[in-house]
Every structure is written in C-alpha cells, then in structure tokens.
Amino acid sequence: MSEELHARLRQRGRASVDFLANMGFGMSDMRNSVEEEIKRIVPDPDALPDDLDQRDARMQQSLGASTAYRASQAVGEWMATHHGLTAKHAFEEVRDEIEPVLKKFEEGGSTVEASPDMEAPAYWDGVDFHRTAGGWEEHEYQGYIHADIVHTRLVAKSFPGGIWSQRLMVAGLAPKDHYDKIIDLGCSTGHFTRALQETYPDAEITGVDLSLKTIQQAQRLGNANGWSWKLYQRPAEDTGFEAESFDLAGSYILLHEIPAHTIKQLFKEAFRLLKPGGDMIMSDVTRYSDLDKLAVWRADAGAKYGGEPHWRESASLDLAEIAREAGFVDVTAQSYPPFNYPHVVQGRKPA
C-alpha cells in the first residue's frame, strides 16, 4: 500500500481496529485450553467419522461442555460479525480526508472496465464472503476498506507466513524470468497483481474480478505506484478475451471461493487464454488431503462459520488432475511449509 493511500485513522477507529487485531493474541491461553480439551476427547484423529458433517456434529457435541470452547466460539462469532462494521466505522471517521486521495488515484494508467449488465453467478451473488458485513459491493469504498483496514491492519498482523511475502513467493515460482503479458484471475484489490508486477516489472498486466469495488481499489494501488493495469469486472472462468493472448495466467487464493465445476472451467479458460508455451500458476488454500482428520475438521469448521461456502468442495479437489484435464503438461502441485499453505499448481500449455 502506498503511504498516501494508507489512511490515518482517528483515535476511536484506530483503537477499535487495534482491539480486534490484538484480540487473537490475547486469546492464546483460551485457545491452548481448547487444544488440551481436544487432545483429551480425540486421542486418535483417525477414529473420527469420515463424513465431514458427522465429524463436525461429533466434535461440537464433545466440545459443547467445554467453557473455553464455547467462549472461543462466541468471540470468533463476534469478530466475524464485527470486523467489517468496525472497519467501515473507522473509514467513515476519516472519509473526508482520504476520499480526495482515493479519487486522485482513480486517474492514471491503470484503468477499470465495469460490466453494469453482468449477471453475477449464483455461487457468488448475495454471499457475504468472509462474513464481510454487506458483502463486497455494498459500500462505495468497500475495496479500499478491505485492503487498507481489514487486510493491512487486521489480517496481515496475525497471518502465519505473512500475506504479502507469500504472494511474492508464489509470483516468483513461475518458471521464466520474463513475461510480456500476464493475467491475474480473481485479482481483487490487487495484492497478487502487485506481487506479479514487482516480480516481472516490464510485464503488461490484466486483472479480472467479479467485484467492481475491489478492482477500483486495485486501480488506485496501480496508479499510486505508476503501474498501468487493465482491470475488468468479468468472471475469471469466462473472460471474453481473445484466445492465446497471455504468456502467464495466475491466481492467488481465488479457487476456494468458487465451486468445483467453476474451478474446472477456470483452468480451461486459463489454457485457452495462454499462448502456446505459456505458463499457468494457481495457488489456493491447504488441501484436505494434506491434513489429518482433526486438522480437516478445524479448517472445515472455520470455513463454515467464516463465510466460505465453497471452501470444502474446493479444498477436497485434486487441482493437478484438473489442470491435466484442461490440457496442461508438466503439471506440478506443491504445498508449502509450515502449514501446507498456499498449495500451488503449475503447468504449461504445450508449444
């Protein structure tokens, strides 16, 4: 985030955001108690039910008597419902100061093409992903609020591995030193787009996302840094761009936000968009196949209560297999330590 784009929150907003950011650290004793309790009631994770709903029901029933578990659930629920509202209030307090800066960076080499007539896909429409109050589109500056307040001041503070360095790591995994034309699928507010641009400074970058408010923020980020991104409000699985027009097609944690059949379409679309010999790099959340049954329950329960309706379906897929089915060759899939996150799938369109 460029310094100019980083809002100077007023005391009330800053304190509320800091309170939320530090709450997770403050709860570590309570979380340790929950972990002790889990170890006691699940001595052998392999004995848990295979069916994920039954597994969750068993865990909820067993943990229901634990005060620490009930308290941590209540705090988690409170954070899920309040983080978006807290961020919006903090923004409104400084709106007069920051709005001219936001408007200023809507001008420049980075452009946005909105699709006002686009019919949003049913799997996306009306879902408050991440339980963000009002969803991605309700607030005029939702993209900014999400990027500057939620991501930068909340998520980045506690994310294992660091949300910025992980994106740079993934961008750097693409096999060539240079790409002329790159497409970032599900670019959102431009965090991975930025990592791609910093890794391939001469590349011409196109980004697509269903959410107009998020790409408007990507535009500001691009302009604040002097980059010329072409941003489109379009579905990543059906971009409408000409075939064979990109050298690298990538995405960073888009896949868990879309259902399995759309993921398959997306890989086919990436294949169509690449020039012969072009590279694909898609990253997503930890595969359930990389986790034991207890860890899968944790991830699955977190997704269920955290506004991620497609996570289970997506995290259960073999993405390498889907990439091969789409036509990619030399396909590799790797999960990165220490949390098997992100899971990165790469492949090449035959020359």
> Residue 230's beta-bridge partner residues?
111, 206
Exactly one of 68, 170, 254, 296 binds ligand SAM (CB under 6 A); that residue is: 254
Told to check if 219 binds ligand SAM by CB under 6 A, we report no
Told to check if 174 binds ligand SAM by CB under 6 A, we report no
Give the pair of three-digit tokens for residue 342.
Answer: 């992100």
Pick the closest to residue 56 from 307, 301, 312 (CA basis): 301
In order, the DSSP letters of 40-68 are HH-S-GGGS-SSHHHHHHHHHHHHTT-HH
Exactly one of 69, 91, 192, 341 binds ligand SAM (CB under 6 A); that residue is: 192
In the block, residue with structure tokens 């590349």: 203
Give the pair of three-digit tokens for residue 96.
Answer: 């007069």
Pick the closest to residue 274 from 239, 245, 237 (CA basis): 245
Please report how close the Cβ of residue 227 comes to ligand SAM at its closest, in angstroms: 15
Told to check if 236 binds ligand SAM by CB under 6 A, we report yes
Please report how close the Cβ of residue 41 comes to ligand SAM at its closest, in angstroms: 33
Closer to ligand SAM at the Cβ: 1 or 258?
258
Cα(32)–Cα(25) distance, rounded to whole angstroms?
Answer: 12
Give the pair of three-digit tokens for residue 308.
Answer: 């991620």
Told to check if 142 binds ligand SAM by CB under 6 A, we report no
Told to check if 188 binds ligand SAM by CB under 6 A, we report yes
Applying CB under 6 A, which part among 25-33, 51-59, 257-265, 316-324 lies near ligand SAM? Answer: 257-265
Cα dihedral across residues 309, 311, 317, 323: positive or negative:
positive
Exactly one of 235, 278, 342, 347 binds ligand SAM (CB under 6 A); that residue is: 235
193-212 binders of ligand SAM (CB under 6 A) = 208-211
Residue 101 CA: distances (Å) to CA of 7, 56, 98: 10, 47, 5
**At a CB cut-off of 8 Å and minimum separation 6, what does 147 contact?**
1, 189, 190, 191, 217, 221
Burial group, residue 35, by CB count within 10 angstroms (0-12, 13-18, 19+):
exposed
Told to check if 258 binds ligand SAM by CB under 6 A, we report yes
Closer to ligand SAM at the Cβ: 38 or 183?
183
Cα dihedral across residues 53, 55, 57, 63: positive or negative:
negative
Applying CB under 6 A, which part among 33-41, 104-112, 174-182, 254-262 lies near ligand SAM? Answer: 254-262
# binding residues, ligand SAM (CB under 6 A): 22
Q: Are 265 and 147 in contact (CB under 8 A)?
A: no
Told to check if 229 binds ligand SAM by CB under 6 A, we report no
Please report how close the Cβ of residue 32 comes to ligand SAM at its closest, in angstroms: 29
Collapsing DSSP states into helix, strand and coil, what is residue 107?
coil
Please report how close the Cβ of residue 23 comes to ligand SAM at its closest, in angstroms: 22
Exactly one of 252, 271, 311, 328 binds ligand SAM (CB under 6 A); that residue is: 252
The contact mask relative to ligand SAM for 48-87 (x = CB under 6 A, - = no) is: ----------------------------------------
Told to check if 214 binds ligand SAM by CB under 6 A, we report yes
Q: Which alpha helices (H) appear in 207-344, and where do they start and end?
A: 212-224, 260-273, 293-305, 311-315, 319-325
80-139 binders of ligand SAM (CB under 6 A) = 124, 136
Please report how close the Cβ of residue 173 comes to ligand SAM at its closest, in angstroms: 14
Closer to ligand SAM at the Cβ: 66 or 166?
166
Q: Which residues bind ligand SAM (CB under 6 A)?
A: 124, 136, 167, 186-188, 191-192, 208-211, 214, 235-237, 252-254, 257-258, 262
